[in-house]
Chain A
Amino acid sequence: MQTTPSDRLPSLRRRLAAIGIALAVAVLAVLGAMLVSGSTTHRVVEDSRIHTVPRILERQRATANLERLIRFGWITATATSAHDWRQASVTAQALAYHPSLSFDDEIRHQVTTVHAVIRQVASKRERALALRNAAPGGINAEARDQDREARELWMPQETILVSLQGKLADDGVRLMVERFDRVAEIADLTRQLAIGAAVLILLILASAALIVWRNLLLPVLQVAQTMRGTLDGSGPERSLPSPATAEMAVMQSAAVQLREALHRAALREAALKASEQRLGSIFATSEAAIVLSDAQSQVMQANDAFLRLIDHDRALELSLDQLTHTDDAAREAPLLRAMLKGETDRYRLDKRLRRQDGSWVWVDASVRAIRDGDAPPHQFVTVAIDISERMRAERELHFIRALVDQSADPVYCLDPLDGGRMAWANAATCRHFGASPERILTMRIPDWDPNFDTEVVKKLWQSPEPLSTRVFETTHRVAGGDIIPVEVSATWLEHDGKPYVAGYIRDIRDRNRMLMAVRRSNEDLQQFAYVASHDLQEPLRMVASFLQLLERRYGDRLDAAGHEYIQFAVDGAVRMKQLIEDLLAYSRIDSRGLQPQPVDLAVIAQAACDNLVSAIAENGGRVTLSDDLPLVMGDQPQLIRLLQNLIGNALKYRAPARFPEISVSAQRHGDSWIIAVSDNGIGIAPQYHDRIFMIFQRLHGIAAYEGTGIGLAICKRIVERHGGEIWVESQENVGSTFKFTLHAADVVANE
């Protein structure tokens, strides 16, 4: 049997029983002592009443009778009347033998002796009386002698009787003293006994009170105080003292359990209240529409979100059946029947609810039944979430997916972490590779691209480039086994924490054929332009040379108009020559360009400035090169020409009122640098910002600013050949900033 801590504690019942037994024993002892005392007292009293008092009374009566006997004796001895002394003598006889004088042998003997004397006295008086009666005149000396002898005979007896009286008095006093001493002794004993009993009972009661106080009242008060604090919730949780008895252990254990139960109940109540508040708050403030309806789908309670959802002010007169779209109601009916049969407790359904204006709103409705036991549901809680946006997005997604699926170009998505396995592909992709949709999802890059084996594919994904897009050309093994050139775009995506690579595949066999034709055509044109430009220069040089020779030899014969005409022809030839050189330079940008390589832009800018040193000096201009001009990828001669054209333009289109202030700077932008050439020239109106880069486009007449109108076109072509862009930011009469981009040398070096 398992023992509890309370089993090991002493029992209060036993303690109280021990106290009760001790008290009972003490009370019994006291009662016994009192009984003994009372019995003794009673015995003494009874003895006093039965013996002592009668004996004292006996002695009092005897004393009184002795007194009377003295009187009767004296009367017998001295009375003159014969009747008197005779009667006294007779009475003395009756008295002498009366039991009142017979209780003590000594007294009886003395009294009898005295009575005998009285009899003698009476005899003498009788004789004296007889003598007087016989004597003449009643006078007789012998009679007097007899009377005298009688008196003398009696007198000592009085002393005897008085002495007896004294003895009786002393006896009476002795009896009384003895009795009172005994009574006093018993009284003392009784008092001591009472004091002892009182002390003993007080000690026991004090012990009982102490035990009851320590083992019962104090623990009960502490338990009560603890319970009061627990009930009020105001007092701190007191630790109960160690129980002294098993009963208190049980009570304290019960109190602790009750306190814990109350604490748990309070926590549950608080949690329930908090839950109710939360639920109420959630119900009131929830963005989700919450509706409580009865078995007839009549709305009983609804939150604001529901009213907003259906655009109603009040919900109590509404019925969910009437609000539900008929098509959706038909889908919902079997779910509701299953719930009514008790087969399910909840269901979830996307359905449409009718708004007050007649429009429909899609909701994700979660319906839960409320039932009592196994009874059919009597209430329903519907939580509806507006999914209009989601439905719209899904429709759009479906549309986009349809577009992608129906796209003529293959669109794909790879899983880079699975060896480039095809994760998704549209129908065109399946056709492209001649694989079924199921089969294609098992294919990996090496399965269709002979340029990539497994190891290469692994290396492809070692340096992910999120959201970067690469467009490259490769070859694919397509349906039928042919290997064809394709252009593939690959964009690094991330979805649900997983990386994907997606893009399109484009069959570029036709485009390549067209590019080849275009390239051949361009080459032909470039060759034609070069040849034309080169071949045109010679006749032009001859025209100019001969015109100049004509002017030197026959100039004196020409009038002013002739000189002017020759000058016009020479200028035209010169401009024609410059135009041809510029065209030749323009055409050589692509045909004669060098392969881009890292070049120092500072060196390039300085070279450009060196080429323009005389122009700079003539215009009083100043060119400031930034200290942090970078290394860029480029064709150095072309870049020198680029900067030279731009700085030259800045000098050419200077503002008349100020010296040219030109600066060259660079700013990093991603993988590229933006190079800026700023001036404080006349500026360019915004509408001309694009036009200026077109070939042969001039904003000013030839008379105002000389030039062929090809410079900025050459700049544009050089930048574009380097894969960059060029644009201008300008404000009239303030200045212009020409900006262009170049690939940074460090990025290209890393690639």
Chain B
Amino acid sequence: MILRALMLLSLTLGLAAAPARAQGVAVGITTTAQPFVITDPSGKLDGFNVELARLLCARMGRTCSLEPTTFPQLLSRIEEGTFQMGFGNTLKTPEREKKMLFSAPIWRSTSSFVTTATRPTIDPTRARSLLRTCVVRKSMQEAFLAAQPGPDDNIVAIATYRELFDGLTGGACDAALLPTVNVLDFLSRETGRGYDYSGPPVDDPRLSGSVHIIVSKGRPDLLTALDAAINAIKLDGSYRILMARHFPFDIN
């Protein structure tokens, strides 16, 4: 009788411990432009963000399941908690801080207009009124443009960068407003020939600053572990190596 009770207790404890061991981290990662995310034809994810996610999960000792998503979906699911961690090159804003947690900065970003090389330099304050501009939905670029005067139709909100560049080259929009670094790959490819940055990056604090990994609001423990992992890879040089493999200069 006692032996049976002990076995039952062991089984109960084993069952209780099993979810803890199997508990992984659901990581949302936006299929943004190269070199952040590269999706091969088989659907396998690769790129700077993917490697960074794997590197940090390894450092945290967590089992992470990476799931490609769009930026709007990433924000929504992080807010919902279905993603515990999100890689979407997210800038920190007060509104977002109410809904999610932000890791230590991982690199710094600016936003630039991209348009045909022959087009005169775009005045950011008049861009909405003059041009149809593609932006990623729910991004700061969309928020910036929304704050500018002009018809709503001139704000072309698109879910992914791939669709954004397609829209730019396909004529869906006259220009695009997006992170400066995200444009490099597009400009270096054949499809981006004839396109160029339109002047220097937009000088607006909402569009430049530190890029963070976002964490579900209910997982501050994960945030702590994540910050420690970021600090660790910065100190041991692995982050610099990772960055050098994907970018032509130090974006940090």
CB proximity of B232 to chain A, nearest CB, Å: 16
Q: A99-B108, A100-B108 are in contact. Are A94 and B183 (CB under 8 A)?
A: yes
Among B110, B197, B251, the residue within 8 A (CB) of A90 is B197
When distances are taken between beta carbons in the complex, the residues of chain B under 8 Å from A97 are: 110, 112, 180, 200-201
Q: Which of A60-68, A658-666, A708-716 makes up part of the contact surface?
A: A60-68
Would you call A72 an interface residue if the criterion is a C-beta within 8 Å of the partner chain's C-beta atoms?
yes
- The reply to whether A68 and B248 form a contact with Cβ atoms under 8 Å apart is yes
Residue ID in chain A nearest B192 by CB atoms: A90
**CA A69 – CA B250 in complex, angstroms?**
11
- Of A68, A83, A94, which one neighbours B181 at CB under 8 angstroms? A94
Question: Please, which residue of chain A has its CB at the minimum distance from the CB of B252?
Answer: A61
Q: Are B200 and A100 in contact (CB under 8 A)?
A: no
The reply to whether B196 and A98 form a contact with Cβ atoms under 8 Å apart is no
State whether A93 touches B197 (Cβ < 8 A): yes
Say yes or no: is A91 at the interface (Cβ < 8 Å to chain B).
Answer: yes
- B187 & A64 in contact (Cβ 8 Å cutoff): no
- With an 8 A cutoff between CB atoms, is A95 at the interface? yes
| A87 with B188: CB separation less than 8 A | yes
A95 touches B248 (CB 8 A): yes
**CB-CB contacts below 8 Å: A44-91 with B:** 61, 64-65, 68-69, 72, 83, 86-87, 90-91
Is the C-beta of A324 less than 8 angstroms from some C-beta in chain B? Answer: no
Is A526 located at the chain interface by the 8 A CB criterion? no
Most B CB contacts (10 A, CB to CB) among A64, A99, A100, A112 go to: A99
Name, among B183, B208, B252, the residue most crowded by chain A CB atoms within 10 Å (CB to CB): B252
B184 close to chain A: CB less than 8 A: yes
Q: How far is the CB of B21 from the nearest CB of chain A, in Å?
A: 37
Chain A 93-116 against B: per-residue CB contact (8 Å), 1 yes, 0 no? 111111110000000000010000
Q: Is the CB of B180 within 8 A of A98?
A: yes
A69–B184 alpha-carbon span in the complex (Å)? 15
Flag if B201 contacts A91 (CB, 8 Å). no
B200 contacts across to A, CB distance below 8 A = 96-97, 112
Cβ of B248 and Cβ of A99 under 8 Å apart? no
In the complex, what's the smallest C-beta–C-beta distance from A593 to chain B, in angstroms?
Answer: 158
Residues of A within 8 A of B252 (CB): 61, 100
Q: How many angstroms from the CA of A90 to the CA of B184 in the assembled complex?
A: 7
A97 to B248, CA, bound (A): 14
Residue of B nearest to A61 (CB): B250
Q: Which A residues are in CB contact (< 8 Å) with B187?
A: 86-87, 90
Residues of A within 8 A of B193 (CB): 86
Q: Are A91 and B184 in contact (CB under 8 A)?
A: yes
CB distance from A84 to the nearest CB of B (A): 10
Complexed CA–CA distance, A477 and B245 (Å): 174
Q: Of A83, A94, A99, A100, which contacts B184 at CB under 8 A? A: A94
In the complex, what distance in Å separates the CA atom of A86 from the CA atom of B197? 12
Q: Which residues of A lie under 8 Å from residue B196 when comparing CB positions?
A: 90, 93
Interchain CA distance A98-B182 in the complex, whole Å: 12
Contacts of B110 in A (CB 8 A): 97-99
A64 and B183 contacting across the interface, CB-CB below 8 Å: no
B234 nearest CB neighbor, chain A only: A57
Q: Could you tell me the distance in whole angstroms from the C-beta of B9 to the nearest C-beta in chain A? A: 50
Q: Which bracket fits the contact residues of B?
A: 20 to 34
Are B248 and A91 closer than 8 Å at their CB atoms?
A: yes
Mark each residue of chain B from 21 to 55: 1 if its CB lies under 8 Å from any CB of chain A, else 0. Answer: 00000000000000000000000000000000000
Contact of B250 among A64, A72, A93, A112 (CB under 8 A): A64
Q: Which residues of chain B in 171-194 are interfacial with respect to chain A, using CB atoms and an 8 Å cutoff?
A: 180-181, 183-184, 187-188, 193
A97 to chain B, nearest CB (A): 4
Complex Cα spacing A98 to B243, Å: 15
| Cross-chain contact of A98 among B183, B188, B209, B249 (Cβ < 8 A) | B249
Beta-carbon contact of B188 and A90 below 8 Å: yes
Q: Are B250 and A94 in contact (CB under 8 A)?
A: no
Residue of B whose beta carbon sits closest to that of A57: B252
- Chain A residues 513-537 with CB under 8 Å of chain B are none
* Chain A residues with CB below 8 A from B108, complex form: 98-100
Specify the chain B residue showing the minimal Cβ separation from A84: B188
Partner of B180, one of A69, A83, A94: A94
Roughly how many angstroms separate A68 CA and B188 CA in the complex, as a whole number?
17
Query: Min CB distance, B184 to chain A, in Å?
Result: 6
Give the complex CA separation of A61 and B252 in angstroms. 8
CA distance A99 to B181 in the complex (A): 12
Q: Specify the chain B residue showing the minimal Cβ separation from A72.
A: B248
B112 touches A91 (CB 8 A): no
Complex CA distance for A83 and B189, rounded to whole angstroms: 9
Residues on B with C-beta less than 8 A from A93 are 196-197
- Return chain B residues, CB-CB under 8 Å to A99: 108-110, 208-209
B249 engages A68 (CB within 8 Å): yes
Residues 145-174 of A, flagged 1 when their CB comes within 8 A of B and 0 if not, give 000000000000000000000000000000
- Determine whether the beta carbon of A94 is less than 8 Å from that of B188: no
Residue of B nearest to A122 (CB): B196
A91 to B196, CA, bound (A): 10
Q: Give chain B residues whose Cβ lies under 8 Å from the Cβ of A86.
A: 187-188, 193
Min CB distance B195 to A, Å, is 9
The residues of B that contact A65 with a CB separation of less than 8 Å are 249-250
- Measured in the bound complex, the distance between the Cα atoms of B198 and A94 in whole Å is 11
Q: Smallest CB–CB gap between A173 and chain B, Å?
A: 20
Determine the distance from Cα of A99 to Cα of B205 in the docked complex, in whole angstroms. 12
Return the chain A residue nearest B190 by Cβ.
Answer: A83
Q: How far is the CA of A488 from the CA of B112 in the complex (A)?
A: 176
CA distance A99 to B109 in the complex (A): 7
Collect the chain B residues with CB atoms within 8 Å of residue A64's CB.
Answer: 249-250
C-beta contact mask, B195-215 vs A, less than 8 Å → 1, else 0? 011001100000011000000
- Note all chain B residues with C-beta closer than 8 A to A83: 188
How distant is the Cα of A61 from the Cα of B110 in the complex, in angstroms? 16
B16 to chain A minimum Cβ distance, whole angstroms, is 42
**Closest chain A residue to B208, Cβ basis:** A99
Q: Report the nearest B residue to A64, measured CB to CB.
A: B250
A-B pairs, top 8 by smallest CB distance, nearest first, are: A99-B108, A87-B188, A90-B187, A68-B249, A97-B201, A61-B250, A95-B249, A91-B248
12 contacts between A and B (CB under 8 A): A64-B249, A68-B250, A86-B193, A87-B188, A90-B196, A94-B112, A94-B180, A95-B249, A99-B108, A99-B109, A99-B208, A100-B249
Q: Given known contacts A69-B249, A90-B187, A98-B181, what 19 new A-B pairs fall within 8 Å (CB)?
A: A61-B252, A64-B249, A65-B249, A68-B248, A72-B248, A83-B188, A86-B187, A90-B183, A91-B248, A91-B249, A93-B197, A94-B184, A95-B248, A95-B249, A98-B180, A98-B251, A99-B108, A99-B208, A99-B209
